[in-house]
Amino acid sequence: MDRETMKKSYRAGIIGLGFIGAGDQTSGDVLGQQVKDLDGTHLAAYAGNPRVNIICGSSRNKGRRTRFLTRVHNEVLVYSDWKELVNSSKLDIISIATYTPTHAEMVIASAEAGIPVIYCEKPIAATMIEAERMLAACKKSGSLLVINHNRRFNPNFRLLQTMIARGDLGELTSVTARWPTGRLGNIGTHVIDVIHMITGQKTVAVSGILDQSQKPDCRGSAFKDPGGWGLIHLEKGCMVTVDAADYAKGPMVIEVYGTSGTISIIGAKITINLYNGSTRYLPQPTDQSSMDIAVGEMVAWLDARLASTESKNPPAFSYDPADAVHTLETIIAFHASDTRKGAMVELPLNNKDRDIILQSG
């Protein structure tokens, strides 16, 4: 790669200047969450990369636009209409940090505008049809679509993926997953996606029951994203037990069991116990957030794209957005199973199951 490529700066913009998009604590207070507890924000990840210039942001909310301006040190443009941002800013990277029902329209518009990298919040979309349209639009334009399942970029989870793939745990037998506040779409998407990631196995069937306690969604009455309980059947016979009640308390817990050892993930604490007597604790990364790493890899992808402009094959990236579609499909399968009183639903989904709308914020 030549020196000019290494010096090039890339232009970034953010649609959605709230909690995860712009690190807006006022928005976080509404959700009952702290920006300091996040594994990065879109704004911080761009601001922390010397190769990226934040040039614009968009929000319908005037207060968010004003607070965004106070947190950005260089001159930026702000828009109340996201379409104006997409069509007039000539961006290299765009973040879509908005509610799930808006993702498809914004991603497709960004791809059609020729924006090379689209960094979209999770879950990828509200329906399977929308998610597939997003993939098709990005494939047509050559845009890289990255979904913010941030553990995909976390060094500890990448290490677990490598360990399991090389057989350190032996043959996997089962996984247990528990998390608080229900919300299969908003929280469960992280858990299910990381289970797919570290086990290297996809879902083939789901049996689930949704929590009907009708807990109000922290993102407002327009959303209904229940938790639930059930089983996820992975492709190599490994079974995942899910316990995600709406009113559950405590940290997120994932435990992976194999014939040669176990992995215990409790919040950010990860412990590896092998049956030969060895125990290993993985320290939490402190130098970079997972989103910092993701943005760094997007910059590297843009560099590779620039260096290979004569090639018809786009450069590779570490996270295939089709995996995020599969995670969405697994979540929707819980909803489909619930309508059948917990009966097993096989993937890929068919017929009316593909029309189910995930009402996640």
DSSP-assigned states of every residue in 64-119: HHHHHHHH--S--EEES-HHHHHHHS--SEEEE-S-GGGHHHHHHHHHHTT-SEEE
pLDDT of residue 312: 59
Instruction: Write the pLDDT tens digit of every residue in 141-187.
Output: 999 999 999 999 999 999 999 999 999 999 999 999 999 999 999 99
pLDDT of residue 2: 55
The amino acid that residue 224 corresponds to is K
pLDDT of residue 137: 98
pLDDT of residue 168: 98
Instruction: Count other Cβ atoms within 10 Å, centred on residue 351.
Output: 7
Instruction: Count other Cβ atoms within 10 Å, centred on residue 295.
Output: 30
User: Is the pLDDT at 3 greater than 60, yes or no?
Assistant: no
pLDDT of residue 7: 75
Query: Considering only CA atoms, which of 86, 97, 89 is closest in space to residue 43?
Result: 97
- Sketch out the chain's domains with CATH numbers: 3-149+289-319 (3.40.50.720), 152-285+324-355 (3.30.360.10)
pLDDT of residue 159: 98
Contact between residue 204 and residue 347 where contact means Cβ atoms under 8 Å apart: yes
User: Is the pLDDT at 1 greater than 80, yes or no?
Assistant: no
Instruction: Write the pLDDT tens digit of every residue in 197-232.
Output: 999 999 999 999 999 999 998 888 999 999 999 999
| Six-digit token string for 83 | 């379409």
Instruction: Write the pLDDT tens digit of every residue in 185-195.
Output: 999 999 999 99
User: Is the pLDDT at 119 greater than 90, yes or no?
Assistant: yes
First to last CA, the chain: 41
User: Is the pLDDT at 4 greater than 70, yes or no?
Assistant: no
Pair type for strands 345-346 and 279-282: unpaired
Which residues are paired to 255 by β-bridges?
A: 176, 264
As a whole number of angstroms, the distance between CA 226 and CA 212 comes to 7
What does the mean pLDDT of the chain come to? 95
Instruction: Write the pLDDT tens digit of every residue in 284-343.
Output: 888 899 999 999 999 999 999 998 765 557 789 999 999 999 999 999 999 999 999 999
